[in-house]
Structures are given as structure tokens and as C-alpha cells.
Chains A and B, each alone.
Chain A
């Protein structure tokens, strides 16, 4: 072996700081931070700003840690899918062992620190969320059942509940309804994506509903979950986290969302192919706005309540 080859071999894969940061799925982390913050602020008990800041940070780190563990386990399918091919492990920037160690260390750190900073109900909920996302969803159900999206949605729905637990030290109907909002929103959101991004999942061998039960069945599923979501979203509006602003926003958004799901239900594959899945793409974009505005409305209600306005 020449000097040159030894040099290049020893220098080949070394991750930068940014590669480790990418393991935390920063985009998912922003959703986690936003919904956890809304859950924390919507709670009736005030929280000291320092404790609130630290708690949100540890929830974000916990969410990121579960993302790193998900990338460690799913490195084989990430390498096949176009959308995930450039992630740090399939791109050869971070080794699987490094991702596993990084994810486990951050999981332990975030759970213990959240428990110490706020309370152990919040800490336990965060620990359970990481366990649920990594073990129940990623390792067990994702490659086994076409309902994977529904189960994965539960993991993504926990942050507002954790934020609420940071403030109150418990669980209540309001925090369960915030959980339900994200939980029932996830299936129509991802199945709409699966309708126009089908090839990626097919190649990876992940059992998506579009493949296992057919595209017609997926359209029906989207509609049913959207109706369920509308009921839960409007139901949340009559609890202490709701108010006139929330209700007004929710009614408009749910009318648009149900209309979108109805349009998807009444289309077949030929119609979708003709306009390159225009309705499905619109529904997907609307779903992003839908969740953001619902949690935004809860935030508005909670902030205005501090000034003697908002709420019922």
C-alpha cells in the first residue's frame, strides 16, 4: 500500500458538525418545537421562562434523537428512496454505529434533563415517545403494516401533550385533543403524498396503503380520516384551549379540508394522471397550512387570554 492510498483511506469518512445535526431531522424538529410550545403555553399554569425554554429545548433534542435512531435503523431503505438518499448515513458521511450512539446518548440525556427541569410526567412522556417512534413504529410496524402512517402519526402527536405536561404535571382532555389533532391529521397528509409520490415507497418495499389496498381504498381512507379530524378539531374548539378565533379559523379550514378530501374521493387514477395529481398536491399543501394554523390559533387564544381576552 502506498502512502497516498493509506492517507486517503484513513481520511475518507469523517462527519462534520452539520452531518450530526442533519441526523436530528431539523425540519421535523421545528414542528416538534412549535407544537410543544403551543401545548406549554395553552396550559392554565404559568411556567418560568427559563424552565419553559429548557423544557422545549430538551423536547426538541428528544425528538431529534428519535430521528437519529430512525435513520440508523432505516439506513437500508433510505439509500433506495430518492427523497432520503442524501441523508448522512446513506451518503456515507456518518457510520451506523455513530448514529446509534448519538441517538441513544441524546435520548437518555433529553429524557433525564426534561424530568429534572420540569417534572417526571413530562420526562416519562418524552421517553415513551422516543420508545414508541423508534421501537414500535420504526423497528416493528413500519415495514409490516400499511397502517404504519397511522401509528407513526401517534409519535409525532405527543409533543403538545409533553408541553402541556411540563406546565401542569399531568394529562387532560385538552392535551389529549391536541394529540388527536396531529394524530388524525397525519394519515390524510401522508396518504395524499403517497398518491403522487408512489414510486419512492414501492422501491423501498415499505407497505404503503396505496400498494397493499389499492389507490381507491386510499382515497376512501383519506376521506374517512378527514371527517374524523374535522370532528376532533371542532371539538377541541369548545374546550379551554379554544375560543372564537380558533373556532372561526377551524371552521374555514375544515370546510376546505373536507372539500379537498371529497374531491380526492371522487377522482379516479385517469383523472389524476391527466392533471398530474393537481387536487392531491393541493390537498397536501393545504394539510401543512391546516395543522400550522390550528396550532397557531390555539397559541393566539392562549396569548390573548393572558390579556383578559380570548377563550370562551
Chain B
């Protein structure tokens, strides 16, 4: 048997890795979107020291 032959388990692992990768990318997009919304709406107020700098 060739060592490069694709076993069914490799396909499954590949699918899982792609899924996790897409989820992480989606999570980053959501965090970024939330941050933009919260900062532009004025929800976030920097501490006084930082604001005066």
C-alpha cells in the first residue's frame, strides 16, 4: 500500500480542521465587528489617564 494513500480518517480530519479554521475566522470577525460597534457608539470610555494623554 502506498504511504501517500488517503485514508478515510484523513478526509475526516481534514474536514474537521477546515471547520475549526472557519469557526475561528468567524469568531475573529464577530469580535472585530462587536469592537467596532462598541467603540463607535461610545460604549467604551478609556480611563481618565489614557484619555488626557
CA distance A11 to B9 in the complex (A): 7
By a CB distance below 8 angstroms, the chain B residues around A54 are: 30, 33-34
Q: How many residues of B contact A (CB 8 A)?
A: 15
Interface residues of A (CB under 8 A from B): 11, 14-17, 20, 48, 50-51, 54, 57, 116-117
Let me know if A15 and B16 touch, CB within 8 A: yes
By a CB distance below 8 angstroms, the chain A residues around B34 are: 50-51, 54, 116-117
Point out the residue from B7, B19, B30 that lies within 8 Å of A17, measured CB to CB.
B19
Least distance between B1 CB and chain A CB atoms (Å): 10
Let me know if A51 and B16 touch, CB within 8 A: no
Interface residues of B (CB under 8 A from A): 7, 9, 12-13, 15-16, 18-20, 30, 33-34, 36-37, 41
- The chain A residue with its CB closest to the CB of B20 is A17
**Which has the most chain A C-beta neighbours within 10 Å: B7, B33, B36?**
B33
**Which has the most chain B C-beta neighbours within 10 Å: A17, A20, A117?**
A17
Point out the residue from A16, A17, A48, A57 that lies within 8 Å of B41, measured CB to CB.
A48
Point out the residue from B9, B16, B20, B37 that lies within 8 Å of A50, measured CB to CB.
B37
By a CB distance below 8 angstroms, the chain A residues around B13 are: 14
Least distance between B38 CB and chain A CB atoms (Å): 8
Point out the residue from A14, A116, A117 that lies within 8 Å of B9, measured CB to CB.
A14
- The chain B residue with its CB closest to the CB of A49 is B37
By a CB distance below 8 angstroms, the chain A residues around B33 are: 50, 54
By a CB distance below 8 angstroms, the chain A residues around B12 are: 14, 16
